[in-house]
Structure 1
Amino acid sequence: MATQLIEQTRSLNEECGIFGVWGHQTAANLTYYGLHALQHRGQEGAGIVANQQGRLWQERGLGLLHDVFRDPARLAHLQGQAAIGHVRYATAGSAGIENIQPLMVNFSDMQLSLAHNGNITNAQSFRQSLEMQGAIFQSSSDTEVLLHLIRRSTATTFYDRLKDALQQVRGGFAFLLLTPTAMYAALDPHGFRPFVVGQLPDGQYVVTSETAALHAVGATFIRDVQPGELLTIDQAGLRIDHYTSKTDLHIDAMEYIYFARPDSDIYGVNVHTARKRMGRQLALEQPAAGDLVVGVPNSSLSAAMGYAEATGLPNEMGLVKNQYIARTFIEPTQERRERAVRMKLSAVPSVVAGKRVVLVDDSIVRGTTSSYIVKMLREAGAKEVHVRIASPAFKYPSFYGVDMQTTAELLAANHTLAEMTAMLGADSLAFLSVPGLVQAIDLPYTGNGTGLTTAYFDGHYPSPIYDYEKTLTAAITAGEVDFKTEPTTTYHPSQVSSISDQQPATGKTVS
């Protein structure tokens, strides 16, 4: 390779997955199984808070879910009929135990626990202001800001204080809150993060990040939590309300590309099906002269299927993933970085030797892992390696809950296509176009825009980014990026035909 790649091997990370249930006899156990289905969304820490007859109890720790709860006594400690849980990657805040969620506070008159998926883009300003007013923060997480805003609200009821706080924070967020008397769920006004409601056979309600977690616990999908909604679940049932009517729809396209499980549905669109369409569209836009198609396990296998079907090339298992390796850690030397990738993936010489391989991956962010994979295929005897990426090139950072907040770490933001091809050691490299991505996801949306966030690829951010705007000063000056204002109109579920039967917020309780 002609140029040294960025010295990182960690994969693109989502912030977290959240799960909550109300009214189940073994709520903490059910939450554990729900979080297990969301482990792909966060592998740095996990926690569960349970409500036992109006008293909240917490267990949390660093590592994978099964490591945190390896001692059965920790889960047995969490008795009660309601619980919320969280698996975490760090976006805003460090990876210390103090940032592992759900966060829990003991006010003089009540307890409160909070779990969050996303990133609050004005949290830094709030933190500085609150600290100047005497607030003491226990973590470096942006999530904690909401707890302070709730407590400092002058509204008379907890529900109104929560609404007041939600109206002040910006960015991408799906919140789950647990109190001694109820569970609350709220989604940001843009709908950046996926958030769904399900119902167990005995009628109890579940709220979680993906429909795959509903399936894992035997719950039936009921509806998507809509932008700006505030749900209350208690002994009376499910109440659907809203904290703001100024909403639009901008689902993070990365959920379809990479983050969500293939068996999840987001706004009625199955993730596996969308990824296959991405592969087909990629084959139409960027064909390669190859003998076979190889997908990078596991998130790229669906796109590889689509690419192979569109080209008529055989879809082969040229790479095998060690399922017992959770993620590729940052290592201090190049030898250890490469060894870490080899522990995670291995090439199959009998499949790729002497062949022109079309290597299909879902994305390239920093590029290091991709270069190691190309190298492995060549060492296994591949004659040529043509890299095809089933998403557009990442040129701009994310600020809505994805671990990608600086332009410096983005390969495509700093190098030409020819340079990237040489750095990967590939014979050719090509990406899916932004229009092709939108067409492949095929969200049946009739409102303004596409209903998707594609800012990482095209620089068109669907909202202001507040505290992070200074990080894009050069791109703003160059006219490469722009920002929409916060919404002034109201999005309605009928604008998405696949969920048009879902009712908007009514303020009524569904028993």
Structure 2
Amino acid sequence: MSDAIKHECGLAFIRLRKSFAHYQQKYGTVMWGLNKMYLLMEKQHNRGQDGAGVAAVKLNVEPGYPFLSRIRSSANQPIADVFRQIGEEYKELQKFNPDISNHAGLMKGHMSFMGEILIGHLRYGTQGKNNAEFCHPFIKRHTIPARNLALAGNFNLVNTEELFEQIGINPGEFQRQSDLAAMLEVIYHYLVKEDEVSPQTMDVANVLRQAVPLFDGGFHVGGVTGSGVGFVFRDAHGIRPSYYYIDDDVVVAASERAAIRTTFNVGENEVKELMPGHALIVSNDGEISIEQIVDSKERKACSFERIYFSRGSDEKIYKERSRLGYNLSKQVLDAINYDLKNTIFSFIPNTAEVAFYGLVKGCDDYLKQIKIDRILSWGNDIDPEKLKEMVSRQVRIEKIAIKDVKMRTFITEDVSRSEMVQHVYDITYGTVRKNEDTLVVIDDSIVRGTTLKESIIRMLARLNPKRIIVVSSSPQIRYPDCYGIDMSKLGDFIAFNAAVELLKERGQDGLLQELYNECVELIKNDQLHTVNVVKKVYKLFTNEEITQKIAQLITPANLTIPVDVIYQTIESLHEACPSNLGDWYFTGNYPTEGGNRVVNKAFMNYMEGKNTRGY
């Protein structure tokens, strides 16, 4: 993706089902669980680079000894830093007993993170500051083990203020900045109430059934109590992804199927999806259950997971991304008038590569059919040279764009900074015939269009193609997200800016003030959540009109080479990703009422000139 947006966070949950001595004997190391946690987190590293954290709970610990430990880091390489610190403790123990790793009991007794239940988290900071204090897991401590709680997850909530009100808490400055702080307080509130009623047989499913219906957002959350009950739960719409795997040795949950498969070397069908509105619960004695904690609603799994966020090593995601590209081939062929001889295909590195393969395959399928039809039309009159020329025709592909090592601009002057931004990408010279070839490049999506205009288009223009076509494997991003992705400022979206420009050109920009006034009235009546007023901005224009204006906006001044844009349609997106129909970024059809409130608030912020999040 050329315009960087914040990624999803990643969750890793491990519950060991056997004694540490078992893993020592079977796998040759008492730290098997910790090793797997490290791998499970690294295999989801794409989901978080701002911070990481691990919490561990030990089962059946003697009174007076610590049973809940946590470590967090916001270092440049946070996962490595977390496990380096855990490793340092092990090295210190070895100084006193070099043979300690052969004694499972000693290791559990003396090493803080030798717990049977482990929760790991990778953070991308969509809310709060990027320091260790905001890294998950969060914990609540108490002298009663069952009233200790550690929590981590991949989510955003849009009703945190209401949550604090519902449980009678006046949040501090830190709590106001964290969705997880609100979620933790709510779950803890019902956890304590449950413990007061039945301290010997606490029912965590009952706790979740009271707490989770209060959360407005998308979430995949893992937790553990001090008494050793581990759990993972998912929102009712299945917005955030959630997968799990169970065998005789371990219970695992994570944000990505491929991470579990790779870490534990298991087949696709062995890793299950946790269904929307359900929770995976492991009791302190190891009993496993899948419980429905809220009524499942219409499935709205995030389509951006398939387009961009999740690793493409998952076989289903790979096929879907390839299909996204394939589905665009007809539009592209139409745009180039089926002139494959004078067209070069490429992609914006690195995550658009799979969609690029799909696009090329679609064009290649067309070319193959042309070859068949032409050769058949010759009948028996086949000229060897003509035949050779025909069968040798192929779709022209080149690696045009190269993303340099991440450049950090040390210059703050705007003009100089713009000059530096142009060099984030480099090009492969000698690949394009000047003024003859059309250059088609595919990107995952076009969010702001800034990098396209300031870097990529300028860079491609140096090759002097006849024409540049930018293809987006996703539809136009028109609306903010509030369920995990840091896209909540309406003025950042080039599609919205294109619509505003069209309003101005046609003398209809008074509509913006009318919609702002409508939002003010909705607030007065406590109805801001009932309707998405921003839909009215786009309703006046066709997709093609907005696309054409976007093409103008991403074209650098004084560039004489024509620049066009092609977008995926909503229909072809759904055809390619049939299980992930969450498309509110493109359609404005939010799965919860909180989404309407966020988009309207984002619009009001835009009108008031506020550069702040919409929730």
TM-score (ref. length: structure 2): 0.68
* Aligned twin of 1:32: 38
Question: After superposition, where does 1:42-441 map in structure 2 within 5 Å?
Answer: 42-53=48-59, 55-66=67-78, 69=81, 72-75=84-87, 77=89, 78-110=113-145, 111-127=148-164, 133-136=169-172, 138-139=174-175, 140-153=177-190, 154-155=193-194, 156=197, 157=202, 159=204, 160-180=206-226, 181-199=228-246, 203-220=249-266, 221-234=270-283, 235-264=285-314, 270-287=316-333, 288-289=335-336, 291-312=343-364, 313-322=395-404, 325=406, 332=412, 333=414, 335-336=416-417, 339=420, 342-343=423-424, 345-352=425-432, 354=434, 355-371=437-453, 372-415=455-498, 416-425=546-555, 427-441=563-577
Asked if 2 retains the 8 angstrom alpha-carbon contact of 1:69 and 1:75, the reply is no
- The farther-off stretch of 279-288 and 431-440 is 279-288
* Aligned twin of 2:522: none
Deviation at 1:252, TM superposition (A): 0.7
Deviation at 1:169, TM superposition (A): 0.9
Q: 2:47 aligns with which of 41, 65, 73?
A: 41
Query: Which protein is richer in helix relative to its size?
Result: 2
Deviation at 1:407, TM superposition (A): 1.2
In structure 2, what is the Cα distance between the partners aligned to 1:463 and 1:229?
A: 18
- The farther-off stretch of 359-368 and 35-44 is 35-44
Query: Which protein is richer in strand relative to its size?
Result: 1
SS of 1:394 mapped into structure 2: coil
- Structure 1 residues 67 and 114: alpha-carbon distance in aligned structure 2, compared to 1, 3 A threshold: closer
Of structures 1 and 2, the larger Rg is shown by 2
TM-score (ref. length: structure 1): 0.81
- Structure 1 residues 39 and 334: alpha-carbon distance in aligned structure 2, compared to 1, 3 A threshold: farther
In structure 2, what is the Cα distance between the partners aligned to 1:423 and 1:403?
A: 23
Asked if 1 retains the 8 angstrom alpha-carbon contact of 2:348 and 2:441, the reply is yes
Asked if 2 retains the 8 angstrom alpha-carbon contact of 1:406 and 1:471, the reply is no
- The farther-off stretch of 39-48 and 232-241 is 232-241
- Give the aligned residue type for 2:587: D
- Structure 1 residues 331 and 274: alpha-carbon distance in aligned structure 2, compared to 1, 3 A threshold: farther
* Aligned twin of 1:506: none
In structure 2, what is the Cα distance between the partners aligned to 1:206 and 1:152?
A: 27
In structure 2, what is the Cα distance between the partners aligned to 1:197 and 1:341?
A: 43
- The farther-off stretch of 284-293 and 70-79 is 70-79
Asked if 1 retains the 8 angstrom alpha-carbon contact of 2:470 and 2:566, the reply is yes
- 1:211-270 CA distance string (max 9 Å, x none): 1211231253331010110111244242111111243311111111111111226xxxx1
Asked if 2 retains the 8 angstrom alpha-carbon contact of 1:122 and 1:169, the reply is yes
- Give the aligned residue type for 1:261: R
Aligned residues: 451
Asked if 1 retains the 8 angstrom alpha-carbon contact of 2:479 and 2:599, the reply is no
In structure 2, what is the Cα distance between the partners aligned to 1:96 and 1:183?
A: 27
Q: Which runs of 5+ in 1 are unaligned?
A: 1-8, 444-450, 476-511
Deviation at 1:301, TM superposition (A): 0.6
- Structure 1 residues 95 and 389: alpha-carbon distance in aligned structure 2, compared to 1, 3 A threshold: same
Q: Which runs of 5+ in 2 are unaligned?
A: 17-22, 24-29, 62-66, 90-112, 337-341, 365-394, 499-545, 556-561, 606-615
Task: State percent identity of aligned pairs.
Answer: 24
Asked if 2 retains the 8 angstrom alpha-carbon contact of 1:357 and 1:384, the reply is yes
